[in-house]
Amino acid sequence: MTVRRDFQEPARCRPDLVIGREDLCAGAREQLASGGSVLLHGPAGIGKSTVLRALAEEYGATARTVLRCSATESESHLPFLALADLFGLVLDDVAPRLPLAQRTALESALTGRGESSLQRDGLALRLAVLSALRALAGHGGVLVVADDLQWLDPASAELLGFAARRLEGTPVQLLCAVRTEGTGSQEYDRYLRACPPDTLAVRLGPLTRAQVAQLLDHRGHGGLPRSTVREIHRTSGGNPLFALELGRALADRPTPPRPGEPLPVPTSLRALVLSRLDMLSVEARRTLLVASAGARPTMALLHAAGRDNAEAECAQAAELGLLATEPDAPAVRFAHPLISAALYAEAPAPERRAAHAALSTAASDPIERARHLALATTGTDPEVAARLAEAAALARDRGAPSVAAHLGLLAARHTPAEGAPSPQERRLQAAEDAITAGEIDLARDIAREVLARTSVPAERVRAWIIVIDSAGHTMAEVDAVFPQALADAGDDPRLLALVHYQLAWRALIVEGDFTEARQAAAHAAELAARGEDRRTEQLALAFQAQTETLMGHPDAPRTIKRALKEPQDPKVAWHHNGAGSARFRWLVMSDQLTEARATVTALLREVRRRGSVESEVHFLRGLAETELRAGHCGRALELARESLRLARDSGIGETASAMLTSLAEASGGDVDRALALAREAVEHAEEDGDQMYLSRALGALGYAQLVAGDPAGTVRSLRRVRALELALGITDPARGRWQGDLAEALVRIGEPAEAQDVIDSSREHALRLGRESVLAVLDRSEALVRAAQGDLEAAVAQLTSAQDRLGKLGYGLEEARAAFALARLRGGRPGATAYDQATRMFRRCRALPWLRQVDESLTAPEPEPGPAVPEALDALQVLAAMERQVAALVMEGATNREIAARLFISVKTVEATLTRVYRKLGIRSRVDIVRLAAARRAR
């Protein structure tokens, strides 16, 4: 394809726009940093020039000389033009250093004076270019930046290639870009042979859907619905230039495309293919139009649609590069999705309708037949609308809610105003399908349209509920909707139940009031029962059960049983807010991990079958959490990352997925990424006013900080969690399981008294609710408190017991953490049995960050020197008076704050004094001071 210059990327470097190329750029940077050369290649518009400019700006600063050229197709016939671009500004510097024959030939070629040519001055010119580069390299590094190598004039290309092949051992690097259409190596091999031997070839491929969305956002098109972004990605094939042109065309259009309509293809992109389309015969072009209108065109489909000469006409299109040739494949595939889109956009409306009419009888799938019938029909038609509604129901049953939503909108368009069901009812069903498919923007737009069209209370309340649902965890933004929804509901218990169920969620998310949320859910369940709406009753009971579980309310098991009573609505049974989900949460918190895994796995399988994106995101997180509790960190990390990818793609549950992925990264992946994700989750929860997930996000942040070796940061984060949960009324310590981490971090910063307070208050609730794993973790933390206070024997016994109980409960990672704490307490060194056991356990869990902590403990320098205990005690005498006082109070078990109060100094002064004590005594922590005290008592 020939890319017109009037819409290519601007020449100015925009490194902030190098999107989706992080790994490729990293490899290129490493190659350039090591002194090598790089050849970027890929199809037109894929972003080669953008990446080239970013790399040239970054590495050009390190080179003494940068030579640049950028060729164009229209100038490729001018000999030595690229050579003039490269050497024109440095000719005066290098010419005096060249032999006379070489200087004369080079000056003649660059200035146009004389009649220099490769035929006449071939050897002199080749040697001149090589000598010029070597002369420049003699004063420092040289970077040659050449874009669009395919348009280099042949003479310049030959000279540059000759020199490049002979530059080994000189500080001359090439950074080049060339257009290649295929994925094979043969297209760029000839360019690679013209580069230095150590050149790295980097192919730029298509962007992912998320990267296209990011690119559009960077260029001011971030307000597009996600469904539209998905269509842009499909039509552009992930090509950034094509995606941007499509985005611009949509921005200039006053209304978005209607369901079933393709994206508008701007003239700038149509020009890429229309010249070749003009070379087709009229009949071949009609055949290709039918193929572009079909979802999965094949030769058989084209024949059934009346295209009798499809083979010959498709062969003609393939010769022109419009179709991909795949001899063994039955599908008719366009060389690029943009060709299909441009062909369809260029066709007159009557011809499009004729193509769809042919396909409405030719297609074998009833969903496809109905879609084509709708696109071939103008105006309202009850029969067409009914067929579309049936097709939407079939798509829904097949687990294709997105298809169902778009078919439902087509059905509404063809439904007469007085029809039954009404057009608005069909629109509302389409909006609910869109929510199931994760197309939140589309659902909200449909609901707003219904509210503008209808005065029927049931339709209006249903539309208001969709608006609220589409807000997700940003419910504070739709506060004004609730009074309007209540007014439209009147005194109808079925409609009121729908609104009060949403009010229960609002109480939890916006107000952070579990008590009010529970009461609102119970009231919604009563209203639904009165109105004989079993579906809403089940949802309300499931929500009430989840709230009671988190509150530690004794009625939780009883409410779950009520929600699970027959009759069951199948949509609620697998829904992420249904009774099955509530039961799963109760199982996880009750330490029944095996049953919890089986339950959530079955739920995940069902929602995937039905195509419910939000529920899939939710249950992926649930399964990841279960695997994490069981100590399967690698599997948990895979599931969490999958959940986060799906959440980011759909815009659903991003905060919760970021939080859970942070926990998984801190346990089995990258700690820096864990910290970044946790901070992102905290920021989003605060922005959304989401009290429920703010405490969970802070809990993830505190854990990541603990793994990262920042106990002070852990304390700051988890103290906030403690205050938040107290205000929210959350008493079940199994909800966030942060209490042990807070206590451990408090011990590390010298606050054992506060750590014991956290343990005591948490243990009271854990005992009441029978949370055995929480009790074992609290015992592990309490053992650290005892060790800090000098009671090493009791600490070892308590840690051993906690490790054994956690192992029996199936909490592999927590068991390994107990073994690690035991090894640290015993002061083992390399080869010690305790450390070996912790290493084996962490390795079995694939807990890489924790394994690194073990390695750091093993490789830490020994306290120097290793004196006998009496000598170590004598060493206290070398401390200054203040240092001896602080050390003595530590031996008594005093916290830093208590020491500061007793000595009338600041906590920071205590910390600084302890640092000096550790250095003078050759020890590393308060625990070592306590050991000295214990040894003194033993004497």
The overall average pLDDT reported for the chain is: 85
Indicate the pLDDT class of residue 10, thresholds 50, 70 and 90: very low
Can you spell out the DSSP letters for 4-73? PGGGSPPSS--GGG--S-HHHHHHHHHHHHTT--EEEEESTTSSHHHHHHHHHHHHHTTSSEEEEEE--G
Indicate the pLDDT class of residue 903, thresholds 50, 70 and 90: low
Mean pLDDT value across residues 330-349: 84
pLDDT, position 862: 46
Through-space distance between the first and last CA atoms of the chain, rounded to whole angstroms: 88
Residue closest to 731 by CA, chosen among 551, 591, 557, 556: 551
**Contact indicator for 813, 625 with CB cutoff of 8 Å:** no
Tokens 């010419």, residue?
A: 95
Burial code of 567-589, b = ≥16 C-beta within 10 A, e = fewer?
Answer: ebbeebbbbbbbbbbbbbbbbbb
Better pLDDT: 256 or 92: 92
- Phi/psi for 145 (5° steps) reads -110, 115
Residue 261, pLDDT above cutoff 70: no
pLDDT in tens, 341-360: 888 888 899 999 999 999 99
The Cα 112–Cα 95 span in angstroms is 16
- Position 726, amino acid: L
3-state class of 219 per DSSP?
A: coil
Q: Computed from CA positions of residues 899, 762, 784, 707, in that sequence, does the dihedral angle turn out positive or negative?
A: negative
Q: Which residues contact 423 (CB under 8 A, 6 or more apart)?
A: 412, 413, 415, 416, 417, 453
**Contact indicator for 930, 788 with CB cutoff of 8 Å:** yes
Q: Tell whether pTM > 0.85.
A: no
pLDDT in tens, 854-876: 888 776 554 443 333 344 445 56
3-state class of 795 per DSSP?
A: helix
Instruction: Return the percent helix, strand and coil in the chain, to nearest 5.
Output: 70, 5, 25
pLDDT, position 14: 43
The Cα 472–Cα 440 span in angstroms is 9
Mean pLDDT value across residues 614-642: 95
Residues in the chain: 939
Residue closest to 765 by CA, chosen among 807, 808, 722, 805: 722
**Contact indicator for 542, 578 with CB cutoff of 8 Å:** yes
**Contact indicator for 8, 151 with CB cutoff of 8 Å:** no
Question: Which residue(s) pair with 178 in the sheet?
Answer: 41
pLDDT, position 117: 58
Residue 419, pLDDT above cutoff 90: no
Q: Which of 111-120, 398-407, 441-450, 695-704 has the highest mean pLDDT?
A: 695-704
| DSSP strand pairing (142-147 vs 172-179) | parallel
**Contact indicator for 582, 563 with CB cutoff of 8 Å:** yes
Residue 17, pLDDT above cutoff 60: no
pLDDT, position 83: 87
In this structure, the number of other CB atoms found within 10 A of the CB of residue 756 comes to 19
CA dihedral 766, 769, 774, 779 (to 10 degrees): 40
- Phi/psi for 70 (5° steps) reads -140, 110
Q: Could you tell me the CA-to-CA distances from 916 to 392, 867, 920, 923 in Å, in that order?
A: 74, 19, 6, 10
**Contact indicator for 739, 733 with CB cutoff of 8 Å:** yes
- Position 161, amino acid: G
Q: Which residues contact 696 (CB under 8 A, 6 or more apart)?
A: 656, 659, 681, 685, 736
Indicate the pLDDT class of residue 329, thresholds 50, 70 and 90: low
pLDDT in tens, 793-829: 899 999 999 999 999 999 999 999 999 999 888 764 4
Residue 218, pLDDT above cutoff 70: yes
Rounded to a whole number of angstroms, the CA Rg of the chain reads 35
Structure tokens at 655: 């905060």
Q: H helices of 165-225, where?
A: 186-193, 209-218
Structure tokens at 920: 């003078």
Sheet containing 65-70: give its strands across: 65-70, 142-147, 172-179, 38-42, 200-203
| Long-range residue pairs from 208-212, CB within 8 A, at least 24 positions apart, any chain | 208/20, 208/233, 208/238, 209/233, 209/238, 209/649, 210/645, 210/648, 210/649, 211/19, 211/20, 211/238, 212/236, 212/238, 212/240, 212/243
pLDDT in tens, 140-163: 999 999 998 888 888 888 888 888
Residue closest to 775 by CA, chosen among 753, 754, 806: 806
The Cα 485–Cα 496 span in angstroms is 9
**Contact indicator for 243, 221 with CB cutoff of 8 Å:** no
Mean pLDDT value across residues 706-716: 93
Q: Which residues contact 315 (CB under 8 A, 6 or more apart)?
A: none
pLDDT, position 869: 38
Burial code of 418-437, b = ≥16 C-beta within 10 A, e = fewer?
Answer: ebebbbbbbbbbbbbbbbbb
Structure tokens at 188: 């760029």
pLDDT, position 870: 41
Residue closest to 165 by CA, chosen among 193, 142, 140: 193
The Cα 931–Cα 869 span in angstroms is 10
pLDDT, position 191: 80
Residue 830, pLDDT above cutoff 50: no
**% of the chain at pLDDT higher than 90:** 41
Mean pLDDT value across residues 697-702: 96
> Interhelix angle for 282-293 vs 310-319, to 10°?
90
pLDDT, position 872: 44
Cis peptide before 421 (omega within 30 of 0): yes
Q: Which residues contact 912 (CB under 8 A, 6 or more apart)?
A: none
Structure tokens at 256: 């978005």
The Cα 63–Cα 73 span in angstroms is 29
pLDDT in tens, 768-782: 999 999 999 999 999
**Contact indicator for 555, 522 with CB cutoff of 8 Å:** no
Indicate the pLDDT class of residue 1, thresholds 50, 70 and 90: very low
Structure tokens at 468: 């609220």
Question: Which residue(s) pair with 65 in the sheet?
Answer: 142
